Structure 1
Amino acid sequence: MDTGTVSKNVIKVREDKAPLCFHCSQIKDDQKTFELDGGQSAKWIADNQFSEEDLRGRIEPWLTSLFQSEHLSLLLGSGLTSSIQFAATGNSGNGMGNPELKTYYKDQIVKKATESAIQMGRGSKPNIEDYIRVMNELLRGLNIVGDEANYNELKAETEMLIGAFADNISAIENAIASATEGKRNSAFNKLVLFLMSFASRTGTRDRLNIFTTNYDRLIEAGSDIAGLRLIDRFVGALTPIFRSSRMDIDMHYNPPGIRGEPRYLEGVARYTKLHGSIDWVNCNNIIRRIGLPFGAKNIEPFLKVASINADASKIMIYPNASKDKETAEYPYVELFRDFAAALCRPNSTLVTYGYSFGDDHINRIIRDMLTIPSTHLVVIAYDDPAGRIEKIFNEWGRFNQISLIIGKDIASLDALVDYYLPKPAIDRTTIRMADLLRQRYDQPSKPSKKGGDFEE
């Protein structure tokens, strides 16, 4: 697979033996015509050219089938937030540059943060999460050796950095919430259609599991608009508390005229934020979710309340760690246990969107899932600039269990909700009509004149 082409469009679905790279060769009357890159061919493509409708007929039925697997999970990365932010504001930048450190150990911190970025395949430019992770590790070391002066200096600088990071996340929310009404509504409509395409599952199927590495509350906001009920580990009304003892709580209803047979309530999903959230706060070793409005410009006032009274260092946002340390600490051990339990079981499908496969601890669980023959991974990504998806696809070797939908022409949020994702509704009439049409008009295969082979 070579995603280094100009278009960076890649598809591998259904019986495709290998990924196909293609580009948009023509746009006429808002309809795109695609062409395979040189040296490639496929049985379903004539003369190396195909239309959006051809591509839709290839992708949408395949995703519809996979989305009705016995177990379905959705892993969302920062690409989803960037897509919605761009749709609402025309900009997807987060505005966070490299911090100007003043601590005595600033050179060592920069060096280790750079090494972390290189190890994760992001080049030699560390992001804010790399700095926070390294500074947290250094704080532990200074505390162990008893270097109180440097510890206090670094602790104050780390708190300021975490506070700025949390405020930046909230600023992204604020930019989306304060966008012009037309663009904001359009962006949230796309988000609702996207989420409901996955959440629209029949009552005989297991609940959709939504996992995210994001710290923002965009998924929660979209679910509120869509009327999608999210079940997580928090219990309570005013300041919910994270509970390790959560059992398989669900929502049922009693159909009229039927007694003793409760059924699943539609529009419910299980929700897990693997790296924490800007509204999670550690209060005396109890994880609480505070009432932080979506798009609040400043988090600090919401921390200074009687029952919380915390500073930025108590916000439970845990950046990537190359040594998997977050998976061994509370509450992250519980969250990753949920992730592994949801994925690693038979007849399970995982769909990733906007996730760049830069977290080794997450990738390991996904790879373990693929050791079960009846599982399937669908990777949907706007691009693959670092080549991590290509590398993982080739290294893991589970080609028949992996589908790829990569590129701006097929994996943008607009293209997905308009063409390629299943209809976001449990429409039994449409399903019944499709069954009737197939039974009435589909012709059985006819034996060929050559003998035992069959032709359509």
Structure 2
Amino acid sequence: MLKNYLELDNVSFLFGSGSSIHLGAVAIRNFPVEVEDFIKNKSGTGANQIEGLYEEFIHAIKALQAKWLSDSSSKISDNEDGDKILTEANNWTYILKDDILRDTGSKEIATEFERVLNYLIAKDYVLDEDKATDRTDQLKELIIAIKEGLFEVCDIEKRETPSYLIEKKSNSEYSQQQKHGEFLKGNNKYVFHEKFIKSLLQRPLNLRRANVFTANYDLAFEYAFDRLGVHYIDGFSGFHKRFFKPETFEYDIFYPGSTTSGKVQRIEKVVRYFKLHGSLSWVNSEKRDATNLYGIEEMPLRLISKLDKKGEIIVYPTAIKKSYTLDLPYSELFRQFASTITQSQSVLITVGYAFADDHFNDIIFQALSNPTFTLIIVDFNGTKNNPNIERIKDLNDSRIIILQGSFFGDFLTLADTLMPDFNGVDTKVKVAQTLNDYFDNSKKDKE
């Protein structure tokens, strides 16, 4: 089914956190427990600790949940264990403990990670502007700690595939998902990202470059690109020093052409790649100059991890919805997103994206005003317990296709089954295997 859409001239994918869960990445629909624990460990009176840090965090959470609690007080009841439980209309349940609502299963604070960070940054800005007040709060330190905590939990090289996911796939009623379980046990954790990229790159060369947009901060696609030898145009330029230069989004890569005929041929393995909410590897550089006008540098994670107070310089993930995206690099990234998907004969395939970001949604709905635009939603939950996707379904628009459920709504199924299996996709892998076999046989002959 997807093959016809992938042969359109303008193909784009938008990836959300659902595409990285199998890598051990944390979802940020709620506030991750591991980041909360990181703040707890930073709070105190000991060496390298900050007194009152966790209390400042809890105060912010209570402020953010106050209206929700007030409006939902009639829905809270005691369960058989004596816990206070809030049940919402979509059947999601939350436990109320110490005046804070948490997810009943994961025990995560039931407030979106970015909403917490956005609130703290906005409050810090207001207090900074009030020159008459002497500040005694720990907001700046708390913001730094949250960023550092997220850095630790989003570094997927240090994470493992959840055991429950391997077990679930291995025991699935679908043979294809049983195979996915075996893949997840293997040494190459990026195998599904690689499968997806291989298929995507087999589109006919006369079509425009495929566009991969992601709201994730992790480097899953970067690792997969590198393993496959794929060139990706991501807005950064340089080798030892890589700085943000938005004009590079308009670049392309070609083989040397014939000067007499004036013909050139495009390099095959190239993808346009956009990290709409920033990245673990983006930092504010020390100074701006002619080669670094925007003050944003891309660095290897191993170097960033050695920096003191790395939370002060990491760019992600302060894309404060519609307000912050007016600033670079987000203004340019969102301009590229809007410009790309609103063109004629375009298809946008969202994967693991719950349509919870207003800025993304505004651009997508703008694209729907184009009669030649197609929207394909691949999401595990889909319309189940997700009013955002439910509203999209209710539009009853034939240009909107929703693939949902544990099989069709899974990124692993998309990468391994739904993406077209073009001929020659593993040519280089086969060449490498042939060479290895040849040298192995030659060595045996000499022995």
Structure 2 counterpart SS, 1:187:
coil
**Partners of 2:66 and 2:5 in 1: how far apart?**
39
Q: Deviations over 1:210-260 (max 9, x none)?
A: 110001101100111122211011111112110133362101125799942
Alignment correspondent of 1:454: none
1:345 aligned to which of 340, 343, 346: 343
> For residue 250 of structure 1, what is the amino acid of its counterpart?
D
2:295 equivalent to 1:314 = no
**Partners of 2:271 and 2:250 in 1: how far apart?**
12
Alignment correspondent of 2:297: 288
Alignment correspondent of 2:174: none
Alignment correspondent of 2:17: 78
2:111 equivalent to 1:129 = no
Alignment correspondent of 2:403: 405
After the TM superposition, which parts of structure 1 deviate over 6 Å for at least 4 consecutive aligned residues?
115-119, 177-182, 255-258
Sort the Cα spacing of 1:409 and 1:252 in 2 relative to 1 into closer, same or farther, 3 A: same
Structure 2 counterpart SS, 1:137:
helix
**Partners of 1:211 and 1:94 in 2: how far apart?**
27
**Partners of 1:255 and 1:246 in 2: how far apart?**
21
Sort the Cα spacing of 1:413 and 1:208 in 2 relative to 1 into closer, same or farther, 3 A: same
**Partners of 2:417 and 2:67 in 1: how far apart?**
38
**Partners of 1:233 and 1:63 in 2: how far apart?**
28
Q: Deviations over 1:326-374 (max 9, x none)?
A: 2111211011011111111100010111111110100110111111001
2:157 aligned to which of 173, 176, 188: 173
Alignment correspondent of 1:50: none
**Partners of 1:181 and 1:422 in 2: how far apart?**
19
Sort the Cα spacing of 1:291 and 1:164 in 2 relative to 1 into closer, same or farther, 3 A: same
Alignment correspondent of 2:218: 216
**Partners of 2:189 and 2:355 in 1: how far apart?**
25
Q: CA deviation at 1:165?
A: 1.5
Counting matched residue pairs gives 347
Q: CA deviation at 1:166?
A: 1.3
Query: Where do 1:43-82 residues align within 5 Å?
Result: 62-82=1-21
**Partners of 2:68 and 2:223 in 1: how far apart?**
31
Sort the Cα spacing of 1:152 and 1:97 in 2 relative to 1 into closer, same or farther, 3 A: closer
2:233 aligned to which of 231, 234, 237: 231
**Partners of 1:253 and 1:425 in 2: how far apart?**
23
2:273 equivalent to 1:266 = no
Sort the Cα spacing of 1:105 and 1:164 in 2 relative to 1 into closer, same or farther, 3 A: closer
> For residue 164 of structure 1, what is the amino acid of its counterpart?
G
Query: Where do 1:12-411 residues align within 5 Å?
Result: 62-85=1-24, 95-97=34-36, 102=52, 106=57, 109-114=60-65, 125-146=110-131, 149-150=134-135, 153-170=138-155, 172-176=156-160, 183-246=185-248, 248-254=250-256, 259-283=261-285, 284=287, 286-293=295-302, 299-301=304-306, 303=307, 311-319=310-318, 321-322=320-321, 324-384=322-382, 385-394=384-393, 397=395, 399-411=397-409
Q: Deviations over 1:373-418 (max 9, x none)?
A: 01101101122353134333145x2611111111112232443344
Q: CA deviation at 1:126?
A: 1.0
Sort the Cα spacing of 1:243 and 1:132 in 2 relative to 1 into closer, same or farther, 3 A: same
Structure 2 counterpart SS, 1:399:
coil
Structure 2 counterpart SS, 1:204:
coil
Structure 1 counterpart SS, 2:283:
strand
Q: Is the 8 A contact 2:236 2:246 kept in 1?
A: no
**Partners of 2:161 and 2:241 in 1: how far apart?**
23
Sort the Cα spacing of 1:409 and 1:115 in 2 relative to 1 into closer, same or farther, 3 A: farther
Q: Deviations over 1:46-86 (max 9, x none)?
A: xxxxxxxxxxxxxxxx2100011110001011111103338
Any stretches of 5+ residues in structure 2 without a counterpart? 26-31, 44-51, 72-89, 95-100, 102-109, 164-181, 288-293, 426-447
> For residue 391 of structure 2, what is the amino acid of its counterpart?
I
**Partners of 1:111 and 1:177 in 2: how far apart?**
33
Q: Is the 8 A contact 1:380 1:411 kept in 2?
A: yes
Structure 1 counterpart SS, 2:371:
coil
Structure 1 counterpart SS, 2:301:
coil
Identity %: 24
**Partners of 1:152 and 1:362 in 2: how far apart?**
33
